[in-house]
Structure 1
Amino acid sequence: MWFRTRTVPPGPVAAGDVLAEAEALRVRLGGREVLAGVDVAARAGEVLALVGPNGAGKSTLLGALAADLPAAAGVVRVHGRPVSGWSAHELALRRAVLPQSASLSFPFPVEEVVRMGRAPWAGRPEEAEDDAAVASAMAATEVTAFADRPFSALSGGERARVALARVLAQRARLLLLDEPTAALDLRHQELVLRVCRDRARAGDAVVVVLHDLGLAAAYAHRVVILRAGRAVADGAPAEVFTDRLLSDVYQQPVEVFPHPRTGGVVVAPVRGS
């Protein structure tokens, strides 16, 4: 099996290390150029949010960083090496990916679904951490209470949290999350972004696709704004979230102002006359 092959184990990671990067990245899908020369870097110890309107290329960029989508031009590196230089197993030890939707053909119990995240460590000394990793991931995402329920019997929001728990149980240092809050209620949206912050605080690099600019402003250390396959801004939310830029990118009047109590960035659409 693929996880039994000889692999290079992950090395140590220090704060600020670039764990994923794209340089002059171009990606074509269905004959259309979806990404047109994008540069981006994800560093250990930070949450990087990818934001932008529908069709901007956010999920495509995440897929390219995960080595799930091929580059038509440019280069993608994971842990400093071009993705073509890693085997599938070596990538699985270094990056964990949460797709937009999670589905299973068989009614696996929730705990078994989360335990699937431990597959890359099978046959390695880290396999001894399986039980602790699964329990910790389930607690962090608040799914322990329905550990024995079939995944197929869960609500959309519950499935989303179980899928995130599987990613966390993998204990890769690079987390690539595609719209992890899309199916969640307000409380669990906040929970998921707090988990992202916690993982960054522990030294991981977290890349998350978000549509909610308020969540990005509150939890991301850095944001990349995409429009029509290009990165039009890259920096701290307080620096790049401006009325003019967001209104232009989203083709919707937007105002950005400091929260009256915390001073944090608030983003709101302009409504009414």
Structure 2
Amino acid sequence: MLHAQNISVSYGATTIIDGLDFTAQAGALTAIVGPNGSGKTTLLRALTAETSFSGTIQLNGLDISKTPAWVLASQRAVLSQATSLAFPFQAIEVVRLGLQSGSETDDHLAQTALHRVGLAGYESRFYQELSGGEQQRVQLARVLCQVWQPVQNGTPRWLLLDEPVSSLDIGHQLMVMRIARSFAQAGGGVIAVMHDLNLSAMFAQTVVLMSHGKIVASGTPATVLSDHNVTRAYQCEVRTCTQPAADEWFMLPQAAGLVP
């Protein structure tokens, strides 16, 4: 379990998150959604100890503020929104950064990870020459290598993803979300900051809806992504729908309108 209690984050005199509680379970994909500026990425940065915070955050029972970085790195991998490199690394070299050693087995794992994200044959391509979406998938391959086994010695490992599909076409969006879901189904935990509510509803077991640094609602997609909750959080009137045969939630943007 990843559990955060009474989390507050401030940048200067501006409070971004104030007294927030958050819980995510291993074996499930938890999507954090909300409008721009709602505090989604700030929350994720607190959960990964990338920004200063007050309160307590525990990962698998470990207080992250008191746990060495190398121990945390063995239990969770973090995919940022964007990563720039100053040196001309090849794609395979970037992926290898997620490995713990340089054995032949690990080198094969790096190639397997590239293949899994749809980049087989890209090993020798320079990172700077790739498109934004290809770079994003190279970074995903890197974090997958870091926690390749979703459960290690009985302890779940975690993927923490900040907008993992933001630069991708619909085919690769589905591929990445299926990878995340498979990781969770194998016993790992996944926390993903998302903008696409339909993809969140398709793949997440738990949705956390944020607005103005607070959690508006948390629970199943059908419970959280109601007309009332989404309209209140996004200040945009929407209508949610379900497919009669599958009873799956989705939203049509054609039915949206600005709240007066």
Q: 1:160 maps to which residue?
A: 136
Distance 2:250 2:48 in 1: 31
Of 37, 40, 43 in structure 1, the residue corresponding to residue 25 of structure 2 is 43
Please name the residue that 2:51 is paired with.
Answer: 69
Aligned length: 249
1:80 aligns with 2:61: yes
CA contact (8 A) 2:239 2:256 kept: no
Unpaired runs of at least 5, structure 1:
1-17
1:79-158 equivalence runs, <5 A: 79-118=60-99, 121-122=100-101, 129-158=105-134
Counterpart of 2:151 in structure 1 is none
CA distance in 2, matches of 1:75, 1:60: 15
Give CA deviations for 1:119-152 in whole Å, capped at 9, x if unaligned: xx239xxx67412431332121111221110000
List gaps (5 residues or longer) in structure 2.
Answer: 149-156
CA contact (8 A) 1:136 1:169 kept: no
Q: Letter of the aligned partner of 1:47 in structure 2?
A: L
Runs of 4+ in structure 1 over 6 Å off:
none
- Measure, in 2, the Cα distance between the counterparts of 1:140 and 1:44: 22
Task: Give the match's secondary structure for 2:200.
Answer: helix
Please show how residues 163-178 of structure 1 align to structure 2 within 5 Å. Answer: 163-171=139-147, 173-178=157-162
Structure 2 residue 169 is matched with structure 1 residue 185: yes
1:26 touches 1:34 (CA, 8 Å); kept in 2? yes
SS of residue matched to 2:97: helix
The residue identity in structure 1 corresponding to 2:177 is L
Q: 1:265 & 1:141 partners in 2: Cα distance?
A: 27
3-state DSSP of counterpart to 1:53? coil
Supply the distance in 1 between the matched residues of 2:104 and 2:198 (Cα, whole angstroms): 40
CA distance in 1, matches of 2:113, 2:220: 28
Matched, 1:23 2:5: yes
Superposition map of 1:211-230 within 5 A: 211-230=195-214
Match of 2:223 in 1: 239
TM-score by length of 1: 0.87
Give 2:36's aligned residue: 54
Aligned CA RMSD, in angstroms, stands at 1.7
Partners of 1:175 and 1:157 in 2: how far apart?
19
Q: Go from structure 1 to structure 2 and tell me whether the alpha carbon gap of 1:227 and 1:75 turns closer, same or farther (over 3 Å shift).
A: same
Instruction: Give the % identical residues.
Output: 41
Matched residues in 1 for 2:179 and 2:104: separation? 24
1:195 is matched with 179
Specify the alignment match of 1:254 in structure 2: 238
**For 1:122 and 1:169, how far apart are their aligned partners in 2?**
11
| TM-aligned CA deviation for residue 230 of structure 1 | 0.4
> What corresponds to 2:193 in structure 1?
209
Quick one: structure 1 residues 130 and 236, their matched pair in 2 at CA, closer, same or farther if it must change by over 3 Å?
same
Note closer, same or farther for the CA distance 1:128–1:86 as it changes in structure 2 (3 Å cut): farther
Please give the per-residue CA displacement for 1:71-116, whole angstroms capped at 9, x wherever unaligned: 1x21111221211221111111111001110111111110110010
